[in-house]
Amino acid sequence: MKTSLNRITIYIMNYSANLIFARVSVIVSALLLFACEQSPKDIGFNFKKDRADTLGVNYSDNLIQLKSSTVLVDSVNTHDNLILLTGSYTDARFGKISASAYCQVSQFNSSVSFGNFPTYDSLKLILGYVSSYGDTTKYQTLRVYRLTDSVKNYTGITSTNVTGFPVYNSKSSGLPYENQELGSIRFKPGRFTRPNTFTYPGIVIQNTASSNTSRLDTMSIRLRDDVGRDIFTQALIGNLNDVNKFKSYFKGLALISSDEAAVVGFSAGGSSALRLYFHQPGDTVSSHYDFVIAPSTYNSGEKSEYYAHHYSRVIADRSATPINNLQSPFQTLPSASTNEETFVQSGIGIFTRIEFTNLEALKANKNIHINSAELLISPTVTFNGSYTPPPSGLLLYESASNGKLLAVQLSNGQIAYYTVVQEGGTSSQVAPYDKLNNLYRFNFTSYLQSLLSGRRDNYGVLLAPFSGITNGSVSRVTLGSPQSAVSKMKLRVYFTKLNN
């Protein structure tokens, strides 16, 4: 019999021998692996039909013993993922989370034209709202600065000699910028709402339209007129008709918000732009030209020099938190040392590791047939409409023998993708958050059967936020351990037992 394993492909690179958690293309593909000598669903089921009356059907939350811990992965890719994160919030469990964004702007073609007799009006930064995490009722100030160094392109990555892999991740240093701000705005994130449908790599978010007409989905920041007039003049004399000259002249923007309120996500796609307003003689309404960040119509067949690159820096101060000792990549903190809790956070790269400690003994028991299995994971706090909800979904990565993410390597030693635990179908299995029951539920049947049959190595799994692989959020959740008194992590197994 043959089986197939579906994988999410996550492109990554090796930075000075450190694995850098990669840019998600969220490419889902089905890979046909190999033939198996025995079907996993036949494990322990080698008895005669005429003995069916001796069977007993059972379920147990303790048949498979679990152990959990908290793990810090190396970093999370943020390069060109169409999200700009900025702001900060403080969490008693995870510490202070701070984000800042850095982006180029670019014209989408070689012709920048304002007509025959244009007059400059103004320069504004338009930002499309995507998300917020933290206290959205507080005011915070977003400041915009002009970069003095550019966000680099993919080409020419000398540290790996691989073209086409991302450069920046959540731990990358911020780029330098001018001391004088271009402009700023004071706002409450709660005044904004996402568009009804917003798409970013591999994910489509549906949102119900707000009935409150005072809520917005874009932010407009008036920038300094001396800068706007200079861009306008440079365009008129023809200095901006070469995109590379423009990027050298105007290296980009830094978005900085240091107030402790919320981390806000803005679109780097078609709903955001550096917008220059102008008018012609006799006009009663201004026209505008958009210098874009990431053109929504860009694809690999178009000229890459017109693409504007961007990334977000996300850092955490975990002092005085239960996970203060979590410092090194793939260091683990046993749940026993964190009050029988484990931690998961997107943007930062905090995962939960789950191990199965008694599978060898279960393999030796020939009288048990696994019918189905569910991995049940409960947050330690029930979501009650707070500003910091748990991740909307979690997913499981396979672990390698060294405790890191199980990777498939290319012939040149580069890592092609990390493997994700699948349960049939053609896409990844994501456990959505069940608000009613305060629960994440995974169908774990075929994976458990593969472990018991020896087709999969028993090195455990790593639990990650689904939004974390695209770094579109800094959402977090604390989970009960297998020994938790109130939010117990369980592997519920339904099995048939041959009674002797």
Looking at every residue in the chain, the average pLDDT score rounds to 76
**Do 31 and 134 sit in the same domain of this protein?**
no
Which of 205-209, 301-305, 481-485 reaches the highest mean pLDDT?
481-485
Are 425 and 464 part of one and the same domain? yes
Q: Does residue 238 sit within a domain?
A: yes
Q: Is 322 within the bounds of a domain?
A: no
CA separation (Å) from 124 to 7, 98, 127, 252? 42, 25, 10, 14
Contact of 111 with 241, CB cutoff 8 Å: yes
Q: How confident is the model at residue 330 (pLDDT cuts 50, 70, 90)?
A: confident
CA distance 198 to 60: 42
Half-sphere exposure of 131 (CA within 13 A, CB side): 26
CB 34 within 8 A of CB 315: no
Instruction: Let me know if residue 151 belongs to a domain.
Output: yes
Q: What is the pLDDT of residue 171?
A: 58
Number of C-alpha atoms within 13 angstroms, CB side, residue 171?
A: 17
Of residues 166 and 61, more confidence is placed in 61
Alpha-carbon distance 148 to 430, whole Å? Answer: 41
User: What residues form DSSP beta bridges with 267?
Assistant: 83
Question: Has residue 45 been placed in a domain?
Answer: yes
CA angle, 411 then 414 then 420, to 5°: 100
| Co-location of 12 and 144 in the same domain | no
pTM beyond 0.85, yes or no: no
Q: Is residue 324 part of a domain?
A: no
CB-based contacts of 384, cutoff 8 Å, min separation 6:
none
Same domain, 340 and 368: yes
Q: Please, are residues 385 and 137 in contact by the beta-carbon 8 Å criterion?
A: no
| Rounded-to-integer distance, Cα 144 and Cα 181, Å | 6
262 in the same domain as 333: no
**pLDDT computed for residue 484 by the predictor:** 95
The 8-class DSSP code of residue 246 comes to: H
- Mind giving me the DSSP string for 70-88? EEE-S--B-TTSSEEEEEE
Residue 321 lies in a domain: no
pLDDT interval class at 366 (50, 70, 90): confident
Instruction: Give the integer Cα–Cα distance in Å for 356 and 263.
Output: 36
Q: What is the pLDDT of residue 420?
A: 74
476-487 residue pLDDT tens: 999 999 999 989
Mean pLDDT of 316-326: 92
pLDDT at residue 362, rounded to an integer:
84
Give the type of residue at 292.
Answer: V
Residues 342 and 260 in one domain: no
Asked whether residue 291 falls in the same domain as residue 179, the answer is yes
Residue 81: per-residue pLDDT: 79
Q: Are the beta carbons of 110 and 241 closer than 8 angstroms?
A: yes
Examine the domain organization and report whether 354 and 410 are in the same domain. Answer: yes
- Assess whether 307 and 364 both reside in one domain: no
Q: Are residues 173 and 278 in the same domain?
A: yes
Query: Where is the domain boundary, 316, 350, 378?
Result: 316
- Considering the domain architecture, whether residues 367 and 271 belong to the same structural domain is answered as no
The answer to whether 87 and 99 have CB atoms below 8 angstroms apart is yes
Can you give the residue range of the structural domain that contains 245? 83-316
**Residue 160 above 60 pLDDT?**
no
Query: Which pLDDT score is estimated for 169?
Result: 55
Least confident of 1-15, 52-66, 254-268, 343-357: 1-15
Cα–Cα distance, 73 to 75 (Å, whole number) = 6
Length of the chain: 500
Beta bridge partners of residue 47, listed in sequence order: none
Q: Which of 292, 316, 340 is the last residue of a domain?
A: 316
Three-state SS for 234? Answer: helix
Based on the domain organization, do 9 and 120 belong to the same domain?
Answer: no
pLDDT, mean of residues 471-476:
78
Residue 405 has a pLDDT of: 74
Residues 6+ apart with CB under 8 A from 114: 232, 235, 236, 278, 287, 289
Question: How many domains in the chain?
Answer: 2
Residue 224 region, left (φ>0) first, then alpha (ψ -120 to 50), else beta? beta
Q: Which conformational region is residue 86 in: left (phi greater than 0), alpha (psi within -120 to 50 degrees), or beta?
A: beta
**Mean pLDDT within 387-402:** 86
- Residue 377 falls inside a structural domain: yes
Domain boundary (286, 316, 346) is at 316
Longest Cα–Cα distance of the chain, Å, equals 96
In the chain, the percentage of residues whose pLDDT exceeds 70 is: 70
Is 125 within the bounds of a domain?
yes
pLDDT at residue 180 greater than cutoff 90: yes
Eight-class DSSP state of 137: T
Q: Please state the rounded mean pLDDT for residues 229-237.
A: 92
Closest by Cα among 379, 486, 367 to 435:
379
